Amino acid sequence: MWRSASQLLNMRTIFTEPQQTSLQSFAPEQFNSFDFEAVLPLTVFFLLWKTACFFFEIIAQRSKTEFYTNLPPQPESFFFATNCSWRPPVLPEFSSSIMDLAHFIDHTLLKPDSSSNHIKLLCEEAIQYQFAAVCVPPYYVKDVAHWLEKSPVKIATVVGFPLGYAATAAKVEEIKRAIDEGADELDAVVNICAVKNGNWNFVKNEIDSLTTASHMRGKMVKVILETGLLVEKEIFKLCDICTEAQVDFVKTSTGFAQQGATVEVISLLRGRLPKSIKIKASGGIRDRQFAEQLIQAGAERIGTSAGVQLVSGTAVTN
């Protein structure tokens, strides 16, 4: 049935007037009657209480940790008797001083007759003692990358080793191949023949090429000077070239020349090189005291085949 216009108008009035009345009756002045001052102290007290509980929980947890850490070793029956599932923390196998020295060491084996078993043992020792890196022949880089896959120990290998007079292009290819197989750090021998002939343009171009080949792949380059064969003037010139090329490390020696690293040479290099270029001492380092003297003089890496003996304090037998 159709409703008349008057009926529709009456219904509209019924539904709209109460809404208007209710909105008008809800005056804003009612909000002003809420007493914020009465609630403020209670709110502040609640916040302070929650903060105090938070800090007490931190202090209690720290005290509990210190108590159990400093607890003397107890027999196994003690923990069962006290119904405690906690066990004393496993302490590091080596002291902090030993660990500090280990982090400087490139654990090295570059003998021409080194076998796969020798290199694998080298890697196991590097993991155990947490050495900075292993330095191995290029032939073993791929295997070492597999053995150290889940280890923080870096992989270093040598380029143009040990005489340094290979062609620059050959050295660059050695770097590319080593990086492809997993090397992190490249220890490259400078062309000593070019140095002795004063062919500094050749030396500069070679060091630039080796540095670029390494840095383009995000790897580090260590330029080996073989300081035992150089005079001071030549060492200074090489330091200046390495500074301009922005190499990562300058390394003293291959370990195959008659003279290796000395405290005097490390001091000489540190005084000439900027702080951005680090120094690796290598060659004839078989004594812990000597290694520490080199570090005090400015060396930041120690290349040695006697890394285990240095950190464990045992005598070097060969």
pLDDT tens across 237-277, in order?
A: 999 999 999 999 999 999 999 999 999 999 999 999 999 99
Write down the catalytic residue from 106, 184, 187, 248.
187
162 vs 315: which has the higher pLDDT: 162
pLDDT number for residue 14: 46
280 given a catalytic annotation: yes
Asked if residue 102 and residue 24 are part of one domain, the reply reads: no
Cis omega (within 30 of 0) for bond into 162: yes
Residues 26-46: tens digit of each pLDDT: 455 554 555 666 667 777 777
Half-sphere exposure of 119 (CA within 13 A, CB side): 24
In this prediction, residue 27 carries a pLDDT of: 52
Residue pLDDT, tens place only, 272-306:
999 999 999 999 999 999 999 999 999 999 999 99
Answer yes or no: is pLDDT of 98 > 50.
yes
Domain assignment present for 88: no
Residue 89 domain flag? no
Model confidence at 93: pLDDT above 70: no
Structural domain of 258: 96-312
Which tokens sit at 208? 């630039």
Chosen domain end from 28, 56, 81: 81
Catalytic residue among 219, 222, 251, 278: 251
Q: Which residues contact 294 (CB under 8 A, 6 or more apart)?
A: 261, 263, 266, 281, 285, 302
33 plus 102 within the same structural domain: no
90 within some domain: no
Say if residue 117 is in the same domain as residue 216: yes
Mark out the alpha helices in the chain (DSSP H runs).
5-25, 36-69, 76-81, 96-102, 116-129, 141-147, 168-180, 192-196, 200-215, 232-245, 263-272, 288-297, 307-312
**Structural tokens at position 29:** 């002045």
What is the reported pLDDT for 96?
A: 46
Per annotation, catalytic residue among 154, 171, 204, 280: 280
Query: Same domain for 129 and 161?
Result: yes
Mean pLDDT value across the chain: 83
Q: Mark whether 39 and 153 lie in a shared domain.
A: no
Residues 25 and 161 in one domain: no
Do 119 and 11 share a structural domain? no
Report the pLDDT value the prediction gives residue 56, as an integer from 0 to 100: 72
Please list, in sequence order, all residues whose beta carbon lies within 8 angstroms of the beta carbon of residue 259, skipping any fewer than 6 positions away: 227, 228, 253, 283, 284
Q: Is residue 307 in a domain?
A: yes
Please give the residue that has the higher pLDDT: either 104 or 14: 104
Do 158 and 199 fall into the same domain?
A: yes
How high is the pLDDT of residue 33? 54
Residue 318 maps to a domain: no
* DSSP bridge partners of 134: 107, 155
Gyration radius of the chain's alpha carbons = 36
- Summarize pLDDT for 168-207 with one digit per residue, the tens: 999 999 999 999 999 999 999 999 999 999 999 999 999 9
At 173, which CATH number? 3.20.20.70
Q: Per the structure, how many domains does the chain have?
A: 2
Q: Are residues 46 and 151 in the same domain?
A: no
Res. 228: pLDDT tops 70 = yes
Domain end position, chosen among 54, 81, 108: 81
Q: Is the pLDDT of residue 61 over 80?
A: no
Do 35 and 169 sit in the same domain of this protein? no
- Amino acid residing at 105: I
**Residue 143 annotated to the active site:** no
User: Rounded mean pLDDT of 143-147?
Assistant: 98
Could you say which of 81, 107, 126 is where a domain stops?
81
Q: Is the pLDDT of residue 85 over 50?
A: no
Per-residue tokens: 197: 């002939």
- Per the structure block, which two tokens stand in for 302? 């120690």
pLDDT range class, residue 317, cuts 50, 70, 90: low
Confidence (pLDDT) at 300: 98
Position 44 scores a pLDDT of 76
C-alpha distances (whole Å) from 271 to each of 79, 240, 279 are 58, 12, 11
pLDDT given for residue 50 in this prediction: 75
Contacts for 258 with CB less than 8 Å, ≥ 6 apart: 228
- To the query of whether residue 187 is one of the catalytic residues in this protein, the response is yes
Q: Are residues 115 and 169 in the same domain?
A: yes
In angstroms, the CA 110 to CA 51 distance is 61
pLDDT of 165 strictly over 70: yes
Regarding whether 60 and 113 lie in a shared domain, the answer is no
Cα gap 290→32, rounded to integer Å: 82
Span 116-144, average pLDDT: 98
Q: Does a structural domain hold residue 208?
A: yes
Q: Is residue 28 part of a domain?
A: yes
Structure tokens at 3: 């409703």
Q: Is the residue at 180 inside a domain?
A: yes
